[in-house]
Amino acid sequence: MGFKESGQCHLTTATTTVTVSSEAYTEPCASSPSSNVNQILLLLQSYDVNLRVLAATEIRRLTKTSQLYRRHFSGAVNPLVDMLRCDSIEAKEAALSALLNLAVKDETNKINIIDAGALEPIVAFLQSGDPTLQEHAIAALITLSASSVNKPIISASGAIPLLVETLRHGNSQAKSDAVMALYNLSTHPGNVSLILRTEPIPPLVDLLKSSKKSSITAERCTGLIELLVGFDEGRTVLTSEEGGILAVVEVLERGSLQSREQAVGTLLTMCQSDRCKYREPILREGVIPGLLELTVHGTPKSQSKAQTLLHLLRDHPYPQSELQPDTLENIVCNIISRIDGDDQTGKAKQMLAEMVQVSMEQSLKRLQQRALVCTPADLPISNFTSEVSLK
């Protein structure tokens, strides 16, 4: 039990009494954490809010990069959650920051924080007029929602609509953090439909337009959009949103490897769901050059998806089983002949020529390498067009 007297806090347990002055308090020694942890945990039980803030701040510092201290301070979860209900804004922020660091890379602490009742005040902070408190709350949700156990609990708490509202009206950092939390939640079955009900695609498209296409924010936006277009409503909204498909195409061209894979997956999902409805809107945004480049330099999944999408975008696609090794060039040329604008046509033709050149050079190198270990009769006949179709 603790009480304030002359700037000191007297903390008593069944076996010992510890007197701590906030002015005389020294930083714990990392080499001998146990006694320092006990000292800080006792401070956390003080009636003096200032001393509790001091303890929470120290926990935040010690657990910032130390997994060892995160384990040692697992007993701080309940008193820190209690601090979230204090009247003091400073106490709330200090406790929330400490809880956030305790949860990083620690599944047990993530679950215990939710079990201790932290979610109710955290969700309330999302509606706070204090920007710092709101940002801390979103950051906490990013970390807590990384736990598969917590995902359905957080989604049931009413956090999703508030995160989407932040996506609409928050500042730049809050929007980026909100999309991170939403992306984490979207990986739980059933949560995507809950997110879709909050009409997130317009603010996601706006954020995607304003973000650097290779950024983690753009990657999370594209990942969410790919999941949302799995629903007819999501596909309809993205198509009707001004610049929606174009924003995805731009990520396909300039995004990270992961976001480019998600972007081509988005367009492929749309085209596979209703080719007649979505083929023209996708073609209008000049997707062909990016798809061609992706068939060469994308991830294996991106390459496969890009080739399949090129097949679907063809004017009269034939069954995939009928594709021959040299048909990709024919498919691309067929699409090129139907694109309006010399610039797009020239760019696509140039890229196709580069693809063929790269393929020829790779084939020649392989032939030269094999010539060192094979007799002339053993050498296969190489077809450079088949190399293009396999990229």
Place of tokens 């999501």: 234
Mean pLDDT of 340-359: 52
Q: Is 286 helix (H, G, I), strand (E, B) or coil?
A: coil
**Would you list the DSSP string of 307-373?**
HHHHHHHSSS---GGG--TTHHHHHHHHHHTT---HHHHHHHHHHHHHHHHHHHHHHHHHHHHHHTT
User: Higher model confidence: residue 37 or residue 360?
Assistant: 37
Q: How sure is the predictor about 267, in pLDDT bands with cuts at 50, 70 and 90?
A: very high
- Gap between the Cα atoms of 144 and 195, Å rounded: 18
Specify the pLDDT at position 189: 84
Provide the pLDDT confidence category of residue 33 given band limits of 50, 70 and 90: low
Residues sharing a CB contact under 8 Å with residue 55, sequence separation 6 or more, in sequence order: 40, 41, 43, 44, 46
Report the 10 Å Cβ neighbour count for 342: 8
Any residues with CB less than 8 A from the CB of 210 and at least 6 apart, and which?
none
- Of 3.30.70.3000, 1.25.10.10, 3.20.20.70, 3.40.50.1370, the CATH number of 1-117 is 1.25.10.10
Element (H, E) at 20: strand 17-21
DSSP 99: H
**Least confident span in 25-34, 240-249, 345-354, 373-382:** 373-382
Residue 95: pLDDT over 70: yes
Tokens matching residue 82: 């209690």
Q: Nearest CA to 188 among 153, 238, 225?
A: 153
Q: Could you tell me where in the chain the CATH 1.25.10.10 domains are found?
A: 1-117
For residue 160, with 0-12 CB atoms within 10 Å meaning exposed, 13-18 middle and 19 or more buried, which class applies? Answer: buried
Q: Which helix (H) or strand (E) segment is 19 a member of?
A: strand 17-21
* pLDDT of res. 30: 45
**Is it the case that residue 382 has pLDDT exceeding 50?**
no
